[in-house]
Structure 1
Amino acid sequence: MPRPAQPTHPVVADVTAKVAERSRASRAAYLSRISAAAAERGLRPARADLGCSNLAHAVAACGGSDRIAMTGESAVSIGIVTSYNDMLSAHAPYEHYPQAIKATAREVGAVARVAGGVPAMCDGITQGRAGMELSLFSRDVIAMSTAIALSHDVFDAALMLGVCDKIVPGLVEGALTFGHLPTAFVPAGPMASGRSNAEKAEVRKAFADGKAGRDELLASEVASYHSPGTCTFYGTANSNQLLMDVMGLHLPGAAFVHPDEPLRAALTDAATRRVAEIASSGQAYGIGQVVDEKAVVNGVVALLATGGSTNHTMHLVAMAAAAGIHLTWDDFDELSAVVPLLARIYPNGPADVNHFHAAGGTSFLVRTLLDAGLLHDDVQTLAGPGLSRYGQRPVLDATGTLTWEDAPLESGDLAVLRPATDPFSPDGGLRVLRGTLGNAVIKVSAVADEHRVVEAPARVFTDQVGFLTAFSRRELDRDVVVVIREQGPSANGMPELHTLTPSLGVLQKRGYAVALVTDGRMSGASGAIPAAIHVTPESVHAGPISRVRDGDVIRLDANAGTIDVLVDPEELAARPPALRGAPDEYGTGRELFHALRTAVGRADEGAHVFATLGRTAELGEHTLAPTLQSSLQPNPPTNMEQTL
């Protein structure tokens, strides 16, 4: 039921205004492009402009009624882009989605087909391995694969099937290059809870400390990751899913329904019907209108309020750029100061995403943030205008029909999820650090107050192996700031350094003051150890981190937002940057990614390889076409919107 709109928090309003102003030219250029793409086809389906031979190729694999529909001009053509593979738990549930989607599409007179697949790799498998050096770049490969899938220009709408770390951001970037198409993201959901994340973490620490063997560790891990669905901790994969809910790219409340629940199938069916409905309406709107400045700010707010993955300090920047929107780390920092922490999900607490969902999940989160004026309600979404729709949760009624009901006014578990009026912390726990070492980000939502300021001598490494060797020799049994450099995007693709976490945790448990400083990344693994990550400029670009030597005292102050090496500035500047040895760029496919390592941008600019993404210096100012102006107006209610 609609509720009175709340005044927008002044900081949220101010940050949104600054984002909009700095994005004015690039956003206008983007909207002009997608408006032109929509205007080219008018009310006709995209395939109507194909030559007869082109269309024949496009329908050759269709059978029966689908072929008849596709050679006509009334059926909506839906392109499915899928990350399905049956090796990875998060993507395995997608195996049967295309057939179910196709059947639903036929029921509404549409035709759905798999337009293409995108690669999906798992950081959990590649941790500490050479393959992890491909992980961040896979996001941009996925974006390009999505563009290839949709480039046949025969689709009137799209469904994106993806869940995990780089897959969803890559799909968003790719889909936004076809921003005129109505697009729904279709999740698969998390696996059921297994061994608790807290228990799993303790076994990992015991193994790192030599107090548990490989058999015990393997048994613990298998008990944790045990069935189809995403991992249950709150890393990048589940941060993705929450963002897709709050940014209006899912149907409301779709993120954390289990793969095998009837409700999951009903939501997939409804998403198919919804994109067909939008595409066939007289006021169709695409994903490019959904992802606007307010939606992007909503995504940042939701990430901060739940202590989500630090990877999104890059992914959200890159996704926004694909829509012509210039998001910066300063925006994250300003919002984090006023957005309260409302969720405790591992590694920020003992609960997993299933507990979060049971306590009220995204629908409760949206409702309480809207009530606090911390989210923009006046946005376009997949479900229709207004984010307040996402304060509702999906249910199956007594007849098995999908409907939505208002989220409860109270959390089902205050140890997991709290209202904005009674948060776990008054701020979001994600901070930007600045100082003589450059810029970095740190997540402190799981860091105890007494560990948020560390001043200690540095020990410098250029890879994880060197650190683990020193740890095993007990060389690090002291107060220490571990510096791991040459791990940035240009150096080696910025692999996650999750392998460090258990050993750093052991050092902290032994009573030492410990911190990590790196131009690499840690993602959702950032936990109890203060970790200044994504240090920019990175080492191979001769950033200050390249001049740090063993024994230099480093001060990391998460409270003050500073990261400094306590060396005379003139001496530091006079030091030559550490010479990088010849990088190992061969094996595990790494030799194929040389061009991406050369082209990749800075971490604080999204670390993507699309140099001109979002830039419009050569395009000049643009005026929105009349067709787009009208499409941005609130849509009249539809059957879906009345249901919601």
Structure 2
Amino acid sequence: MKLHPVIEAVTQRIRERSAPTRSAYLALIKAAASRDRGADRMGCANVAHAFAALPANDKFKVVAEKAPNIAIVNAYNDMLSAHAPLAGFPSIIKDELRKHGATAQVAGGVPAMCDGVTQGTAGMELSLFSRDNIAQGTAIALSHDVFDGALMLGVCDKIVPGLLIGALHFGHLPMVFVPAGPMTSGLSNNEKAKVREQAAQGLVGRKELLEAESKAYHGPGTCTFYGTANSNQMLLEAMGLHVPGTAFVNPDEATGGNLRELLTREAARTVLAATKQAKRIGELVDERCIVNAMVALLATGGSTNHLIHWVAVARAAGIIIDWNDFSQLSDCVPLLSRVYPNGSADVNQFQAAGGPGFVIRELIDAGFMHADVATVSSSLREFTKIPTASDNKLVWNDTGVSKDTSVVRPAAEPFSATGGLKLLQGNLGRSVIKVSAVPEDRHIVEAPARVFDSQEAMLAAFKAGEMERDMVVVVRWQGPRANGMPELHKLTPPLAVLQGKGFKVALVTDGRMSGASGKVPAAIHVSPEALGGGPLAKLRDGDIVRLDGVAGTLQALVSEAEWASRPLAQMPVDLTHGNGLGMGRELFAASRRNALSAEEGACSWL
């Protein structure tokens, strides 16, 4: 199938825009790749330190036999259900590589925090910048510079983007990403959302709410809604950086099988093969690869967070993308899946219906993806298949037709002719909305603004009964420079309650709402942020605001003369929010000061 002209045009525009930075990046990794291997290049003391703890046989292989040495960068901890299974992965990988005459070392661990734990708390203000911290941790792990390739073990929200950013700064190495898979299905996402709304109204208490949440989040593996973590896995499949079909296979300890272990062993064999073929990650992740990731995000109604994260990922490879690129792609890419929050199914149902393999095949066949990209496997076509275990061996089968057309559909019969995300522009700045999660009769909201300086203030107003009317809720001072751009997911239940009562409500914020953005229309990531002189700082209570997800506008309906003359409000200093005191927030002050805008990836390292 011929490539769709919009996909071709956007890719070419990105290529031309990125030519200077991409050329400099490729020259850098070419120079790094041209050196002698680390064990031959370094001084004897350096080499002795590097391999002192290796078993004698492994030490001999690396130094004398010049066997490939693979780095393992592990985001394991048992706080995150998605990362708990990673505890045993290094042993599996080392065992498999030894069978093939190679060695591996756990080069380093990187932090991994759970946004589900920190939602609505001070810890969430560290969340976004943990991505750059993970990238730095990855760089530290690989800085020992004695590796021929690397395996990146991680799954969740900021962890995969951080690992990928760090990996691309060592773009001369072949690398494969290794996930652990989603937990098995528990309480349905719709039931969970219903109980949350009941709790917001005081109809059920903490006991009932905790019981529901614990039934939803109940075992090892990723949360089963299609949030940022699972969007990560979809995008890595579309970029060809996984073992094909690995994303949504459950952890073995959740199913009693061994498919996940077989896939992890295959990842070890894949990176070993990639070292022999010189499949360097910095060369694999080119403009076409980035566009494929963007298309996959739009076709599945994935996490809004990736309009920040993948901008940063692309920059790490010398590629410059912006929200205009996402917007133009969204106008032509069809929506092929409905998974919560833009549907009722969870990722296990998505996988059973056809999963990433079905979506990627449909997008390739309809001309919406670059099929000619290089991958860690043989080709992107390999990622249209589903792995199974047969006689303790892996077998990949054709995806076939959709097993549930309420979850995934062919490109010829999409849920929508356009993607799940929309760019909004106007005198309030630039922002994005996840239209695929919002009922069509809510795509346009025009109402008086109610302006809050924190999410705590908004929740207090809701509890006091002050919000029983049509309104556009504005929560500002939530951008990267202000307080690290926390997710404001706790605002969804009360806003959903108001919407359920028949009020026209919307949210406008320079903060984030995460991959779990729900049915309430939300203009998020407003850029420039209020603290950076953005126009949200001009808004006042009672100003009429129009959020138009059809026309793509976000506008304060105030005369141009008055708007131009209004002074910018100043962020209030309050010990409970926004000033970076307590819970380790002081340590991230430099990140806040140096952060770029959300549209520039909120990078603190450029």
So what's the TM-score if we normalise by structure 2?
0.98
Q: Give unmatched runs, 5+ long, in structure 2.
A: none
Counterpart of 1:394 in structure 2 is 387
Figure out how many residues of one structure are paired with residues of the other and give that number: 598
How many Å apart are 1:73 and its aligned residue? Answer: 4.3
How many Å apart are 1:64 and its aligned residue? Answer: 2.5
- Alignment pair present for 1:299 and 2:293: yes
The SS at the match of 1:524 is coil
Query: C-alpha distance in 2, partners of 1:544/1:297?
Result: 31
Assess if the C-alpha contact under 8 Å between 2:302 and 2:420 holds in 1. no
Match of 1:120 among 104, 112, 120: 112
Assess if the C-alpha contact under 8 Å between 2:84 and 2:220 holds in 1. yes
Q: Deviations over 1:473-516 (max 9, x none)?
A: 11111000000000000000000000000000000000000000
How many Å apart are 1:89 and its aligned residue? Answer: 0.5
Query: C-alpha distance in 2, partners of 1:357/1:445?
Result: 19
Query: C-alpha distance in 1, partners of 2:273/2:406?
Result: 40
- Matched ranges for 1:61-100 at <5 A: 61-100=53-92
Query: C-alpha distance in 2, partners of 1:373/1:278?
Result: 28
Runs of 4+ in 1 over 6 A off after TM superposition: none
RMSD: 0.8
Query: C-alpha distance in 1, partners of 2:367/2:65?
Result: 45
Letter in 2 for 1:396: A
How many Å apart are 1:541 and its aligned residue? Answer: 1.1
- Alignment pair present for 1:268 and 2:261: no
The SS at the match of 2:319 is coil
How many Å apart are 1:327 and its aligned residue? Answer: 0.8
Percent of aligned positions that are identical: 58
Counterpart of 2:180 in structure 1 is 188
Match of 1:437 among 428, 434, 451: 428
The SS at the match of 2:583 is coil
So what's the TM-score if we normalise by structure 1?
0.92
- Alignment pair present for 1:28 and 2:23: yes
- Matched ranges for 1:303-382 at <5 A: 303-382=297-376
With 142-151 and 84-93 compared, the bigger mean Cα shift is at: 84-93
Letter in 1 for 2:584: G
The SS at the match of 1:425 is coil
Assess if the C-alpha contact under 8 Å between 1:457 and 1:554 holds in 2. yes
Query: C-alpha distance in 2, partners of 1:46/1:472?
Result: 61
The SS at the match of 2:34 is helix
- Matched ranges for 1:406-485 at <5 A: 406-408=398-400, 410-485=401-476
Counterpart of 1:518 in structure 2 is 509
- Matched ranges for 1:220-239 at <5 A: 220-239=212-231
Counterpart of 2:274 in structure 1 is 278
Query: C-alpha distance in 2, partners of 1:291/1:263?
Result: 28
Query: C-alpha distance in 2, partners of 1:439/1:40?
Result: 45
Letter in 1 for 2:500: K
Letter in 1 for 2:361: R
Query: C-alpha distance in 2, partners of 1:79/1:107?
Result: 17
The SS at the match of 2:177 is strand
Counterpart of 1:13 in structure 2 is 8
Counterpart of 1:616 in structure 2 is none
Query: C-alpha distance in 2, partners of 1:439/1:87?
Result: 36
How many Å apart are 1:74 and its aligned residue? Answer: 2.3
Query: C-alpha distance in 1, partners of 2:50/2:533?
Result: 51
- Alignment pair present for 1:575 and 2:569: no
Query: C-alpha distance in 2, partners of 1:389/1:26?
Result: 31
How many Å apart are 1:285 and its aligned residue? Answer: 1.9
- Alignment pair present for 1:109 and 2:98: no
Counterpart of 1:494 in structure 2 is 485
Q: Give unmatched runs, 5+ long, in structure 1.
A: 1-5, 612-644
How many Å apart are 1:278 and its aligned residue? Answer: 1.8
How many Å apart are 1:452 and its aligned residue? Answer: 0.7
Query: C-alpha distance in 2, partners of 1:125/1:391?
Result: 34
Query: C-alpha distance in 1, partners of 2:39/2:446?
Result: 63
Letter in 1 for 2:226: Y
- Alignment pair present for 1:588 and 2:583: yes
Query: C-alpha distance in 2, partners of 1:296/1:179?
Result: 15
Assess if the C-alpha contact under 8 Å between 2:225 and 2:516 holds in 1. no
